[in-house]
Chain A
Amino acid sequence: MTSVPSKLYSDDVSLVVVLLDTNPFFWTASSSLPFSQFLSHVMAFVNSILLLNQLNQVVVIASGYNTCDYIYDSSSDASQLGLENGKMPSLYSNLLQKLEDFMIKDEKLGKEQSQRAIKSSLLSGSMSMALCYIQRVFRSGPFHPQPRILCLQGSPDGPEQYVAVMNAIFSAQRSMVPIDSCYVGAHNSAFLQQASYITGGVYVKPQHLDGLFQYLTTVFATDLHSRSFIQLPRPAGVDFRASCFCHKTTIDMGYICSVCLSIFCNHHKKCSTCGSVFGQAQSDTSSASDLKRKAPET
């Protein structure tokens, strides 16, 4: 970490950790937004954040299909040096080089692993890496930039990551790190919606993907301090309703297993998840308790 005179750190200095979705299965399937265009928009956005404040810091983490890694850190010296070939600044060439290396690594790892049913990217891994980085910044001293996480995600949610992602969300909430999310996939991401809702970040699902850069700069470029003065898009409502385990339908009211908290839309005799046997219905239990109450008197 570069040592900067502490008084320079005012409340509008940001550390933005960008989680970049590099899932090849999503990007090759995505027709509306080619990956090259997406990269252009994101890199331009990263550059504009660095231009907003001299002390601003950006870290880019790629979340691939099999692994995730840091591909850019504006504070490290290595990222400053690079080949300037006149076509693009060192920032971009460095980032792209690292990204390419990452893709090769990701592909190699993939050969040893089995395929998942849903081609999701490793959101939980990159979130945890981001939080680790932020924790290190927190411990670097009393003066540090205000951190936030920006998820640029397109792949569908990976259900097997549910617990890990939720844990990451809660630890972000605990360390007061907002998770902003910009979801470029087809359907809303429940993970990211909840992440942003719980941590007080912003969730945006752009309707016009060719204007992604405009979305990014308008919504996600403002530092945390200025956010208190700005009207940012708010979700009309996050769907927190649960789905029942038996028919996977979304329900308002249902039965919950008292042992494992599985949710059912109608009464079962036995929990299908943990096998607990439930008691009788209401009327039966009341009569049973009546019997019990009477017993000692006689």
Chain B
Amino acid sequence: MHTSNTSKGIDWLLVGLYMILCVIGVISIFGATYKEGDPILQSFTSFKTDYSKQLIFWILAMIIAIFIMVTDSKFFTATANLWYAFGIVLLLLVFPFHTEIKGTRSIIRFGSFQLQPADLCKVFVALALAKYLSRVETDFSKTRSQLIATAIALTPAILSILQQETGLALVYFSFFLVMFREGLPAGILIIGFSFAVLVVATLLMEPNTLAMILTGIALAAIYILRRQIKRRKQILVTIVGIWMVCVGIQRFLVPYVFESVLQPYQVKRIYDTIGKDYVPTGGTVVLEETTTKKKDDGGDYNVKQSKIAIGSGGFAGKGLLKGTQTRYDFVPEQRTDFIFCTIGEGFGFVGSFILMAVYFLLLMRIITVAERQRSVFSRAYAYGVASVLFFHIAINICMTIGLAPVIGIPLPFISYGGTSLITFTAALFILIRLDADRQMVLR
């Protein structure tokens, strides 16, 4: 009885796209780590090389996926909050039991097995948020509900920052897309976006120039709205208020965050991305135009080598195992965070474009699937999955091509790593399960 029900209603397109991405992943890891002269077949079955391990992780992920597929979809709605609680407990357990690896304190180790709860928690947040939004008593137009939803999404992020894992923390901000879809006022997204623009502008421009520009905009607004202001003095107050907030951010908040909140290496990476030299100072952030390119260390080196790798791929690429940049370890972390380099160098623009197309198709399909759900839970969850995937893909690829600062987050389904692959697989297959049962329940 179960079996016939299980396969019914499955979105095979999603499954297919997933399979394609996993295959690309294993091939890319093979391309990045295969050493000349290794017997290919034996290496694949020896489980000692990274690509054979990734193959195992994939098999493990598939087993978990099958378990998810045979589970009743009601199980996920019922246990969503439980999972979330479990996730938070895991995150808290990190504080006493972490092992420090590469400057992050977010990893728990059991023997050779590593667990990063901040990574795992993405799925739980997606479930819990969906659960909260789908409650009958939730009126998402109320600020209180919006704040609660935000709290659900950002609690793991805050814990993650405390564990010095800023990259993963940023991922949780992608849940604002879910909230936006479920009715969060567009204004908040616009304010968020404006805030981002202001921060970038602060980094790029002289403080005084930017202050003058902001003042200019404020004065222009007052001039344009002078008729309305005559009628309602409030508008003037609002404009002046916004102006003060903006200048405050630009003058005090950004320097404060850069000086006191972020790690020096993170600040440097941000500056590397916008092409400025970071000069740590006592009082204010001082920016200096990059005039003499010195020997770079850290983040900039990675990005430079990564851009060389991708750029040298050209139109059709050098072919698998032919990329000198990736073969001879010029790009660091090339099997994990910088795996896209292997594709860019080995398969060129054609390969990169095909990969982007597959991802685009996947995201679009998830949104389509989301929109056809009859339950708010399923839809919110689907958007949650889409948002997290989108954020990962966009930030990861942007960082390899020099459009975003180096944030250590993996490329979904492709980067080497068990936790990441299993988490994304579980997230996607829960969605497929929910979607398969969309006709059965009305929540």
Are both chains from one complex? no
Residues of B within 8 A of A (CB): none
